[in-house]
Amino acid sequence: MSTAFEFDSKEFASSISVQVPHVEGTYDLTPDQVLLDQAEHESEVRSYPRRLPIAIKRAHGALVEDTRGQIFLDCLAGAGTLAMGYNHPEINQALKEQLDSGLPYQTLDITTEAKDRFIKRVKAFFPEQFATESVIQFCGPSGADAVEAAIKLAKQTTGRNTMFAFRGAYHGMTNGTMGMMGNLGTKARRTGLMSDVHFMPFPYSLRCPFGLGGDAGAKQSIRYIERLLNDDEAGIMKPAAIIVEPVQGEGGVIPAPAFWLKELRRICDEHEILLILDEIQCGVGKTGYRFAFEEAGISQIFFVFLKRLAVVCQCRSLYSTKRSIHGMLANIRAHSAVTN
Ligand X SMILES: Cc1ncc(COP(=O)(O)O)c(C=O)c1O
Query: In whole angstroms, how close is the CB of 239 to ligand X at the nearest point?
Result: 18
Which parts of 155-174 interact with ligand X (CB under 6 A)?
170-172
Q: Using the minimum distance from each CB to ligand X, give the nearer residue, 71 or 284.
A: 284
| Residue 66 interacting with ligand X (CB under 6 A) | no
Query: What would the x/- binding string for ligand X be over residues 113 to 142, using CB under 6 A?
Result: -----------------------------x
Query: How many chain residues bind ligand X (CB under 6 A)?
Result: 15
Annotate 166-208 with three-state secondary structure. Answer: ECCCCCCCCHHHHHCCCCHHHHCCCCCCCCCEEEECCCCHHHC
| Residue 265 interacting with ligand X (CB under 6 A) | no
| Residue 148 interacting with ligand X (CB under 6 A) | no
Tell me how far apart the alpha carbons of residues 48 and 46 are, in angstroms, rounded to a whole number.
Answer: 6
Of the candidates 225, 273, 274, 280, which one interacts with ligand X according to CB under 6 A? 280
The pairing of beta strand 71-73 with beta strand 63-66 = antiparallel
Tell me how far apart the alpha carbons of residues 51 and 126 are, in angstroms, rounded to a whole number.
Answer: 36
Q: For residue 48, give the H/E element and its range.
A: helix 48-51
Q: Which residues of 90-119 are buried (b: 16+ CB within 10 A; e: fewer)?
A: eeeeeeeeeeeeebeeebebeeeeebeebb
| Residue 150 interacting with ligand X (CB under 6 A) | no
Residue number closest to ligand X, CB atom: 143
Beta-bridged to residue 304, according to DSSP, are 278, 312
Single-letter amino acid code for the residue at 6 = E
Query: In whole angstroms, how close is the CB of 21 to ligand X at the nearest point?
Result: 27
Query: In whole angstroms, how close is the CB of 100 to ligand X at the nearest point?
Result: 29
Query: In whole angstroms, how close is the CB of 183 to ligand X at the nearest point?
Result: 12
| Residue 284 interacting with ligand X (CB under 6 A) | no
Chain residues that interact with ligand X, rule: CB under 6 A: 79, 142-144, 147, 170-172, 245, 249-250, 278, 280-281, 307
